[in-house]
A and B are shown apart, each in its own frame.
Chain A
Amino acid sequence: MTGKRKKWRPVKDQSKFEAQLDPGFAAEVAAQVEDGELLHQCIQCGTCSSVCPVSAYMDLTPRRLIAMTRAGARDDVLHSFSPWVCTSCYACTVECPKRVPITEIMHALRRISLVEKTYPRRFTTPVMTQAFVDMIHDRGRSTESWISMKLYLKTNPAQLVKNASIGQRLMRQGRMGLKRETIHDRAKLRALLKAASS
Chain B
Amino acid sequence: MSAQRYTYYPGCSAKGVGRAFTESLDAVFEHLGTGLDEIEDWNCCGATAWPSVDEDQAFALSARNLALAEDRAPDAGPVDVLASCTGCYRALLKTEHVLAEPGPTADKIGGALAAIGLDYEGRARARHPVDILVNEIGLDAISAAVVRPLTGLKVACYYGCLLVRPFATFDDQYNPTSMDRLVAAVGAEPIDWPLKTRCCGGSCYCGGPVIGAMPEATMQLSYALLREATKRGADMIATTCPLCQFNLEGFQDRMSKRFGRPLDIPAVFISQLLGVAMGIDEKRLGIQRLLRWRLPERMPVAAEGGGHARA
Check if B53 sits within 8 Å of A114, measured CB to CB.
Answer: yes
Check if A57 sits within 8 Å of B49, measured CB to CB.
Answer: no
Secondary structure at the A interface, as helix, strand, loop or mixed, is: helix
In the assembly, what is the distance between CA of A106 and CA of B84, in Å?
26
* Given contacts A128-B210, A142-B12, A195-B115, A53 and B198 within 8 Å (CB-CB): yes
Taking CB as reference atom, which chain A residue is nearest B221? A53
Give the number of residue pairs across the A-B interface with Cβ within 8 Å.
201
B49's partner among A132, A140, A175, A177 (CB-CB below 8 A) is: A132
Is residue B43 within 8 Å, beta carbon to beta carbon, of the partner chain?
yes
Most buried by A among B20, B52, B166, B291: B52
Check if B41 sits within 8 Å of A142, measured CB to CB.
Answer: no
* Given contacts A159-B211, A175-B16, A192 and B116 within 8 Å (CB-CB): yes
Check if B201 sits within 8 Å of A87, measured CB to CB.
Answer: yes
Taking CB as reference atom, which chain A residue is nearest B47? A132
Most buried by A among B12, B13, B53, B60: B53
Check if B49 sits within 8 Å of A128, measured CB to CB.
Answer: yes
Check if B206 sits within 8 Å of A54, measured CB to CB.
Answer: no
Is residue A184 within 8 Å, beta carbon to beta carbon, of the partner chain?
yes
Is residue A41 within 8 Å, beta carbon to beta carbon, of the partner chain?
no
B113's partner among A5, A110, A177, A192 (CB-CB below 8 A) is: A192
Residues of A within 8 A of B72 (CB): none
Check if B165 sits within 8 Å of A93, measured CB to CB.
Answer: yes
Residues of B within 8 A of A163 (CB): 211-212
* Given contacts A90-B165, A125-B204, A193-B60, A136 and B44 within 8 Å (CB-CB): yes
* Given contacts A90-B166, A147-B208, A136 and B50 within 8 Å (CB-CB): yes
B199's partner among A32, A34, A53, A191 (CB-CB below 8 A) is: A53
In the assembly, what is the distance between CA of A133 and CA of B51, in Å?
10
In the assembly, what is the distance between CA of A94 and CA of B109, in Å?
27
Is residue B173 within 8 Å, beta carbon to beta carbon, of the partner chain?
yes
Residues of A within 8 A of B19 (CB): 174-175
In the assembly, what is the distance between CA of A185 and CA of B113, in Å?
13
In the assembly, what is the distance between CA of A195 and CA of B112, in Å?
5
Is residue B203 within 8 Å, beta carbon to beta carbon, of the partner chain?
yes
Chain B stretch 221-278: residues in CB contact (< 8 A) with chain A: 221, 250-251
Chain A stretch 118-174: residues in CB contact (< 8 A) with chain B: 124-125, 128-130, 132-133, 136, 140-145, 147-148, 151-152, 155-156, 159, 163, 166, 169-170, 173-174
Chain A stretch 1-56: residues in CB contact (< 8 A) with chain B: 1, 5, 7, 32, 34, 53-54
Taking CB as reference atom, which chain B residue is nearest A160? B212
Most buried by B among A151, A188, A189, A195: A195
Is residue A64 within 8 Å, beta carbon to beta carbon, of the partner chain?
no
Residues of A within 8 A of B117 (CB): 188
CB distance from A163 to the nearest CB of B (A): 6
**Which size class do B's interface residues fall under?**
35 or more
Secondary structure at the B interface, as helix, strand, loop or mixed, is: loop
Check if B52 sits within 8 Å of A110, measured CB to CB.
Answer: yes
Is residue A111 within 8 Å, beta carbon to beta carbon, of the partner chain?
yes
In the assembly, what is the distance between CA of A188 and CA of B41, in Å?
12
Is residue A103 within 8 Å, beta carbon to beta carbon, of the partner chain?
yes
Check if A125 sits within 8 Å of B216, measured CB to CB.
Answer: no
In the assembly, what is the distance between CA of A166 and CA of B249, in Å?
11
CB distance from A69 to the nearest CB of B (A): 16
Is residue A71 within 8 Å, beta carbon to beta carbon, of the partner chain?
no
B60's partner among A125, A159, A177, A196 (CB-CB below 8 A) is: A196
A148's partner among B111, B161, B208 (CB-CB below 8 A) is: B208
CB distance from B60 to the nearest CB of A (A): 4
A144's partner among B16, B20, B59, B213 (CB-CB below 8 A) is: B16
In the assembly, what is the distance between CA of A168 and CA of B109, in Å?
41
Residues of A within 8 A of B57 (CB): 193, 196-198
Check if B165 sits within 8 Å of A144, measured CB to CB.
Answer: no
* Given contacts A90-B166, A129-B206, A181-B12, A196 and B112 within 8 Å (CB-CB): yes
Check if B44 sits within 8 Å of A144, measured CB to CB.
Answer: no
Check if A141 sits within 8 Å of B44, measured CB to CB.
Answer: yes
Is residue B139 within 8 Å, beta carbon to beta carbon, of the partner chain?
no
Residues of A within 8 A of B221 (CB): 53-54
What are 16 of the A-B contact pairs (CB < 8 Å)? A53-B198, A54-B214, A87-B201, A87-B203, A89-B203, A107-B48, A111-B53, A129-B206, A130-B53, A141-B43, A163-B212, A175-B17, A192-B112, A192-B116, A196-B57, A197-B54
Q: A54-B201, A176-B16, A193-B60 known; 6 other A-B pairs, CB under 8 Å?
A: A85-B217, A91-B197, A110-B52, A192-B116, A195-B112, A198-B57
